[in-house]
């Protein structure tokens, strides 16, 4: 089986195309903790197992090429990192501003529905700016195609997904980090930052 998958993955890579079944996902709802209200559910996408294995290979290749380019401040979704250092730095800055009577503004962003809100064409362009080969981008583009929803009455018809990246895909966190890294680089470049 491993040999067949290897051949299939190589063909997918060479042609920058993937089997139709890998493009499809089935969205199922899962309850969050708390009250059972409509907004207290989240969808996860069930994906093809061979497609997920292929994505894991892409993930490792992409991460190896991109991880060192991401800003040091980004700790989320990265191996051997935690947010402890960022929390320590923020606390240190707050304490210094209080001690020296400097004004301070801190902006916290809740990335609610973060993965659903990424503009795809911008993400593909950002990947290219970060040196990702066009073949990678083409495969990512092909992976994000269509879904159906599992309901109590059965499955809906398949529909195109036009924004965000597929929930449940292993590539999702690294793609989000790349998009966030780009936004933060632009914000820092354009704005006044630091302690003065």
How confident is the chain (196 residues) per 10-residue block, as mean pLDDT?
93 88 89 77 88 93 88 84 88 96 87 76 93 88 83 91 77 89 89 61
Cβ–Cβ under 8 Å, residues 132 and 66: yes
Cβ–Cβ under 8 Å, residues 124 and 140: yes
pLDDT of residue 181: 93
The domain of 169 spans 24-72+112-190
Output the pTM of the full model: 0.78
CA nearest 149: which of 41, 17, 37?
Answer: 41
Would residue 137 count as lying in a domain? yes
How many domains are there within the chain? 1
CA distances from 14 to 64, 68, 85, 139 (A): 20, 26, 42, 10
∠ Cα 165 166 172 (to 5°): 65
Would residue 3 count as lying in a domain? no
Would residue 28 count as lying in a domain? yes
Would residue 79 count as lying in a domain? no
Would residue 55 count as lying in a domain? yes
pLDDT of residue 74: 86
Would residue 121 count as lying in a domain? yes
Would residue 93 count as lying in a domain? no
Per DSSP (E only), the strands in the chain are 24-31, 41-46, 146-151, 154-155, 159-160
Would residue 161 count as lying in a domain? yes
pLDDT of residue 193: 61
pLDDT of residue 65: 86
Q: Which residue has the tokens 């700790």?
A: 75
Q: Which residue has the tokens 């809740």?
A: 110
């Amino acid at each position: 089986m491993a040999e067949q998958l290897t051949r299939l993955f190589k063909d997918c890579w060479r042609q920058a195309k993937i089997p139709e079944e890998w493009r499809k996902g089935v969205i199922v709802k899962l309850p969050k903790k708390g009250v059972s209200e409509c907004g207290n559910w989240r969808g996860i996408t069930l994906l093809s197992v061979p497609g997920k294995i292929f994505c894991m290979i892409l993930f490792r290749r992409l991460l190896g090429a991109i991880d060192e380019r991401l800003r040091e401040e980004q700790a989320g979704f990265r191996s051997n990192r935690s947010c402890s250092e960022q929390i320590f730095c923020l606390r240190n800055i707050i304490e210094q501003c209080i001690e020296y009577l400097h004004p301070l503004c801190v902006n916290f962003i809740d990335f609610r529905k973060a993965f659903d809100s990424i503009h795809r064409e911008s993400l593909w362009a950002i990947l290219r700016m970060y040196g990702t080969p066009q073949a990678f981008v083409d495969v990512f583009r092909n992976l994000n195609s269509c879904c159906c929803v599992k309901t109590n009455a059965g499955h809906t018809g398949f529909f195109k997904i036009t924004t965000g990246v597929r929930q449940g895909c292993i590539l999702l966190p690294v793609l989000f980090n790349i998009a966030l890294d780009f936004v933060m680089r632009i914000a820092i470049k354009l704005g006044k930052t630091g302690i003065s």
